[in-house]
Structure 1
Amino acid sequence: MEMSYKPGKSLPARALYHRCDPGQLTFESTASLAEFSEIPGQDRAVEAIHFATEIDVDGHNVFVLGPSGAGRHTFVRQFLEKKARHRDIPSDWCYVYNFDDPRQSKALKLPPGISKGLRVDIENAIQDAQTAIPAAFESEDFQLQHEAIAEEFKEQQEKTFDAIEQDAHKRGIGVIQTPTGVAFIPMRDDEVIKSEEFEKLPKKQQRKIHADIDELTGQLQHMLRSAPKRAREMRQKFRQLEHDVAGLAVTGLVDELKQKYRGIPVVVEHLERMQADIVDNVGLFLKSSDGPGLPAQMKEILRSKESAAMRRYAINVLVDRSDCEGAPVVFEDKPSFAELIGKIEHEA
């Protein structure tokens, strides 16, 4: 069957082109125009997105459908970015050393834009402490107090021994130093009584001398038994002195940071715990690896251990919002479980 076609209405050439008068335009270039953020002919879709983004509950989702090239992705991105600029900036997050349980780091929720500055401030404070603490321990005041404690212990020992020696002298007993220690011997007119002469003494006098020597030996043994206790007391005084000196050296550094971050209680609490830990572990700041006479390999091992121990004071910044203007808009082209929730990449 043959089909017949009727010729269409012809159009003049001037009808195929519409000339726009530039004088009617209020701009010089389209580059100066604001970005168009609507989808022509999609008023209901736009209203739906407006409504959906006002529902502020967890677990709420919006699914946008449309033909390819309709501009749905561009519109949603522009819409969310514009709306997010008027939302609050979310918190920073960082990990710090847990002084109560070193095996489990402690997460700190911080005001936006704070975490990087806090990390730098603590790094600087630790570096300053590495200079201030050794300087305090090398000061003349510390050395004098340290020597005074050692001298006190020495004087106590000498005083006790002098008392025993004086008691022995009154009893006519001499005190001599032997390769095995201190010994008591009978004396007469500042001369040692020889064995043959001692045997000639009356038995009563011999028993008296033996009793005196036994009593003096007991006093000496008591002094020797108490020496470790006195040594512990001396070491405790040394530790207390080191604790006090280290505390004075680091207090100013930490107090400055506590004043700066006084409006953030979790930071102030962490700084206080850090300060206490520095004082309790002051040996980390005295650089035993610099000791004279150590082999180069041993120095390297000690430096490695010191560096690892000092990492406890570092701040591990997880989320930094310093560059955010409003709430962030995150685009994830592959919203898998691992991409959304995260995954363990390495287990130490």
Structure 2
Amino acid sequence: MKNNLELRREDLKISYLNTGFNFKTTDEIQPDESIIDQDNALMALEFGLQLGARGYNMYISGVDQKTIYEYVKARLEKQAGEKAVPQDICYIYNFKNPSTPRVIRMQPGDSIRFKEDMKEFRQFLIDGLGAKLDSVEAERKRQHLIDKLDSKKEQILEELKSYAKEQGFIVKLTQEGLGFIPLDKEENPISMEQYELLDQTTKQEIEENIDRLSEMAEQVLADIRDVEKEYSQYMNDISETIVLNEVGYFIKHLKEVYGKYEVIKEYLDEILQDILEDISIFSDSQSAENQEIKSIFPWLGSNKVGERIGHYDINILVDNSQLQGAPVVTARDLSFARLVGKIKVDTELTLNRVDFNNISAGLLHEANGGYLLLYVNDLLDYPGSFEVLRRTLKTGEVNVESLAISNITTSLGMLPPPVPVDFKVILIGDYEVYRVLCDTDATFKDLFKMNIDFKDTIDGDKTSLLRFASQIKAFCNKEHLPDVSYEGVLVLAEYSHRLAESQEKMSANIQPVTDLVREASVFSKDLITKEHIVKARRVKTLFKETLQKNIEEKYAKNIYLLDVGGKKIGQVNGLAVYDVGDFMFGKPVRITATTYRGKSGVADIEGAVGLSGSIHSKGVQIITGFLGNYFAQDYPLSLCGKICFEQSYGGIDGDSASSAELYAILSSLSQVPIRQGVAVTGSINQYGQIQPVGGVNDKIEGFYRICKQKGLTGKQGVIIPKQNQKDLVLDEEVIEAVEQGRFHIYAISSFKEGIEILTGVPAAQVEERVACKLKAYSGEGQNKPIRIKKKVK
């Protein structure tokens, strides 16, 4: 059936594919990795990069997220190279509060040098200081003091012994202290037997003398203790002098090198004071003793020297010494610990030991002073990660949190102070996710003031096509693939138009195209041609056709009932699309309608049982609105209508079948049958105008395959909205069938055109029958004139 609404072959093709270019293969053109036809988005990106104020982070959305990601990364790296390298971030031991290390910032490279210098210093404490403390000269001085101390103690005791002898006693050293034994006239000690034979007066006199001597002995012992303390200080002075001479030399040198950092000079003074507080642990003999104990009883912990000098290490969180500008940090692992860092726990039997040296940095530390580029979906994949990023942007600080520690062990806590950071975040994701984040987080728009949306499609003119070919050339160079022929480029362009569902636009997503080039290279090692690309596309489709084939077999076996010939009242073939990942295919569906007298209007059975989405239900309500507005101006609309998608057992949504549903209702009311060889897609509004839908290519090809399977008669085809005509990028087989008159495609703009194609009856006749039926339902009789709107624009 030919009429002015039927499309011809040239309406189904992309016109510029037949125009020539001055290259035979991509080897003759320059590679280009830039983004095509996104001038506004790129301008907004450049503007956003110049804004350094807080809150001007970016959310970039677009269909080709990988290409956008790579472009933005390259642009950030270029800009970052022009910025100053940020300071290094380090932790040092806090002598005043060991559980809270101190944060210091140093110029890039200084932290590495300082860490190496402190490593050398710690090695000296291990290897050199003990030797100095136990040197021959130091031991000689100590022995000299010991000798003097012994002499002094002996002198004090001799004075007591001399006085005691004058009083008739000798002094005896016991475990309890000093004792006194009385002497006889020959100055021999009196035994207990002799003492018992003495008279009472003599005994009393001896006891009184012993009491006086005991008081003197207590004073003597006190004097000895004072002398020991005095000489002990002399001994310490020897060690302190060695420490001040040897360690002080290192400290002085480090202060001269790092004098511009006041916090480091303070830290070095604290280290010296820490060493002086317990010098003995640095003695070689003490260290050896501790090592022996450690080897026998490992649960007692490390030796004191090792534990002490661990405090003098430098934990470099962020080392920027190798950067040439500001950092550009990217990652796909965006777990909580990866973002904020973590604290490792060294477990020794039942004791968890936490050391500030075990604190590691996260991405938020590493990005300080630069940029953090992330996929938003990666961020949302990990619980808590988006929240910690949001909190960091709000506060300007990163808090490192320790890993979970078992509650059956003792934990030595570590509370690192927050680290101030400043960086710009760029998130790449879907626009839908952006809207959800804006709706669910009141602060999101304040933190991400820049929303840059890359178009989903680009112009399909010759200039864009040439740049498209240059992109393919760049991809082939990058992956070391053969060049692509001119005809191959045109096939790839046609594929891009199909992805965009437009004859005028190409898809902005280059990734499916480059995937196809990569897959086509399997069939050619020298030059990728049109034939290789077509073959790769067919093979690629075969991997995903299982569901489609299963459905088509059910049509062939009449498990799914569908007529592609003859006429039926109240029955029309609609077109649906199945979307399975990145694979879509059309599936015809029988739509039936019944009508009778009532007040409820038109209702869909799917909606009544909860299988209809809100958009589909809206489309059904629009049908009721159209019928009332178009036919029931002079009498009430008294109608019950039921619409059903036959053999549909899953949820349906969308309004692309609303025109088909209307035609089924009109057929039921008018009792005019509908051609079953013509399927319909398109939505309708309350004024009877046909509106465009999505997936039109897949819908047409899906119905064509079923008609081919059941037998093409030359009377089959599809009706599509006029607006969708420029969206047609059909398979060549379908185009050839249209050219040969074996299949037909009609583009309409109003329901009148559709009903005439479907019934073969003028629209006015169908309308008159419908009006009569609706008037009869209303109870107004048959004698009043019928007023019908005659024109629908």
Whether 2:61 is the aligned partner of 1:65: answer: yes
Whether 2:176 is the aligned partner of 1:175: answer: no
Is the 2:87–2:107 Cα contact (8 Å) retained in structure 1?
yes
Q: Distance in 1 between matches of 2:402 and 2:189?
A: 83
Is the 1:168–1:216 Cα contact (8 Å) retained in structure 2?
yes
Match of residue 132 from structure 2: 136
Whether 2:288 is the aligned partner of 1:290: answer: yes
Residue 296 of structure 2 aligns with an amino acid whose one-letter code is M
Q: Distance in 1 between matches of 2:145 and 2:171?
A: 29
Matches within 5 A, 1:177-326: 177=172, 181-188=178-185, 190=187, 195=195, 199=199, 211-287=208-284, 288-291=286-289, 297-298=295-296, 304-306=302-304, 307-326=306-325
Matches within 5 A, 1:55-134: 55-68=51-64, 71-134=67-130
C-alpha deviations, 1:136-182, integer Å up to 9, x for none? 122232112212332333223222221122223444x1315376753
Alignment partner of 1:16: what SS?
coil
Is the 2:77–2:328 Cα contact (8 Å) retained in structure 1?
yes
Matches within 5 A, 1:33-44: 39-44=35-40
Residue 338 of structure 1 aligns with an amino acid whose one-letter code is S
Residue 385 of structure 2 aligns with an amino acid whose one-letter code is A
Q: Distance in 2 between matches of 1:119 and 1:312?
A: 12
Residue 100 of structure 1 deviates from its aligned partner by 0.9
Q: Distance in 2 between matches of 1:222 and 1:129?
A: 42
Residue 343 of structure 1 deviates from its aligned partner by 5.1
Alignment partner of 1:304: what SS?
coil
Match of residue 142 from structure 2: 146
Is the 2:125–2:282 Cα contact (8 Å) retained in structure 1?
yes
Q: Distance in 2 between matches of 1:70 and 1:283?
A: 62
C-alpha deviations, 1:176-212, integer Å up to 9, x for none? 5376753142453645676599649xx6x88766654
Is the 2:181–2:189 Cα contact (8 Å) retained in structure 1?
no
Q: Percent identity?
A: 21
Residue 328 of structure 1 deviates from its aligned partner by 1.0
* Rg larger in structure: 2
Higher relative contact order (CA 8 A, sep 6+): 1
Residue 62 of structure 1 aligns with an amino acid whose one-letter code is M
Residue 253 of structure 1 deviates from its aligned partner by 2.3
Whether 2:374 is the aligned partner of 1:332: answer: yes
Residue 117 of structure 1 deviates from its aligned partner by 2.6
Structure 1 residues 18, 186: CA separation in 2 closer, same or farther (over 3 Å shift)?
closer
Structure 1 residues 106, 7: CA separation in 2 closer, same or farther (over 3 Å shift)?
closer
Residue 99 of structure 1 deviates from its aligned partner by 0.9
Alignment partner of 1:63: what SS?
strand
Residue 217 of structure 1 deviates from its aligned partner by 2.9
Alignment partner of 1:324: what SS?
coil
Whether 2:20 is the aligned partner of 1:16: answer: yes
Residue 141 of structure 2 aligns with an amino acid whose one-letter code is Q
Q: Distance in 1 between matches of 2:207 and 2:47?
A: 107
Is the 1:186–1:192 Cα contact (8 Å) retained in structure 2?
yes
Structure 1 residues 113, 293: CA separation in 2 closer, same or farther (over 3 Å shift)?
closer
Structure 1 residues 16, 54: CA separation in 2 closer, same or farther (over 3 Å shift)?
closer
Alignment gaps of 5+ in structure 1: 9-13, 21-27
Structure 1 residues 120, 182: CA separation in 2 closer, same or farther (over 3 Å shift)?
same
Residue 106 of structure 1 aligns with an amino acid whose one-letter code is R
Residue 327 of structure 1 deviates from its aligned partner by 0.9
Is the 1:289–1:303 Cα contact (8 Å) retained in structure 2?
no
Match of residue 588 from structure 2: none
Q: Distance in 2 between matches of 1:70 and 1:29?
A: 24
Alignment partner of 2:310: what SS?
helix
Is the 1:284–1:309 Cα contact (8 Å) retained in structure 2?
no
C-alpha deviations, 1:197-237, integer Å up to 9, x for none? 9649xx6x887666544323321232134444443444343
Whether 2:96 is the aligned partner of 1:54: answer: no
Alignment partner of 2:328: what SS?
coil
Is the 2:156–2:224 Cα contact (8 Å) retained in structure 1?
no
Residue 280 of structure 1 deviates from its aligned partner by 2.3
Alignment gaps of 5+ in structure 2: 12-17, 330-372, 393-399, 406-410, 412-793
Alignment partner of 1:188: what SS?
coil
Residue 321 of structure 1 deviates from its aligned partner by 0.8
Match of residue 157 from structure 1: 153
Deviates more, 1:282-291 or 1:116-125: 282-291
Deviates more, 1:298-307 or 1:257-266: 298-307
Residue 310 of structure 1 deviates from its aligned partner by 3.4
Structure 1 residues 343, 335: CA separation in 2 closer, same or farther (over 3 Å shift)?
farther
Residue 133 of structure 1 aligns with an amino acid whose one-letter code is L
Match of residue 345 from structure 1: 403
Residue 251 of structure 1 aligns with an amino acid whose one-letter code is G
Structure 1 residues 338, 227: CA separation in 2 closer, same or farther (over 3 Å shift)?
farther
C-alpha deviations, 1:21-55, integer Å up to 9, x for none? xxxxxxx9969xxx866x45433333322222222
Alignment partner of 1:75: what SS?
helix
Is the 1:88–1:327 Cα contact (8 Å) retained in structure 2?
yes
Residue 106 of structure 1 deviates from its aligned partner by 1.7
